[in-house]
Amino acid sequence: MNINTTKIISLLFFIFSAFYLYTAYQIQVFAFDENAPFNARTFPIYLGYAGLFFSGLKLILPDPNTIKVDHKNLEYKNTGILILIAIIYGATILKVGYFLTTSLFLFASYYFLGERRWILMFLLSFPFVAAFMYLLHGILDIYLRDPFLQSIGVMG
């Protein structure tokens, strides 16, 4: 069997399905439901077996359309930085508030992707987010939680 990344993904999916199936069998159902034709664990059990079946087939059968990815040409660094910025954004958005974190997130993302036109970067972050917030909160009446703007009295 020729080992390639697709096969490794299939193997991981096989293990994941086995774990899912094991967890499905552990689902606690009501005593009167235990022997019912269908209970809360029935569908997940079928899904677990289906996952084992398809990933097992993918593992066993030859793969005529092997996908080759040239990892040298992939931009891991910037992608990683962008993901990290998004995680920091997610971690701070509730405490700091939508306006400031979103504006900083956009500004930092532009910067890390190589942009250096500071005025454009500023316009497409702070005023842009303010306008978008006005659209959501002011016009469409969609609630946006923002402790920072509340603390300085901009938002009620």
The one among 11, 47, 96, 130 contacting other proteins by CB under 8 A: 47
- CA separation for the pair 41, 59 (Å, rounded): 27
Smallest separation, CB 130 to other proteins (Å): 13
- For residue 21, the minimal CB distance to other proteins (Å) is 10
Residue 34 as a binder of other proteins (CB under 8 A): the answer is no
Q: How far apart are CA 128 and CA 149, in angstroms?
A: 16
What's the min distance (Å) between Cβ of 154 and other proteins? 18
The residues near 7 (Cβ < 8 Å, ≥ 6 apart) are: 1, 58, 59, 63
Q: Given candidates 15, 22, 25, 29, which one binds other proteins under the rule CB under 8 A?
A: 29
Closest to other proteins by CB, 143 vs 153, is 143
Residues 76, 82: Cα–Cα separation, whole Å: 10
Measure CA 44 to chain center: 23
Which residues from 114-133 bind other proteins, rule CB under 8 A?
114-115, 120, 124, 132
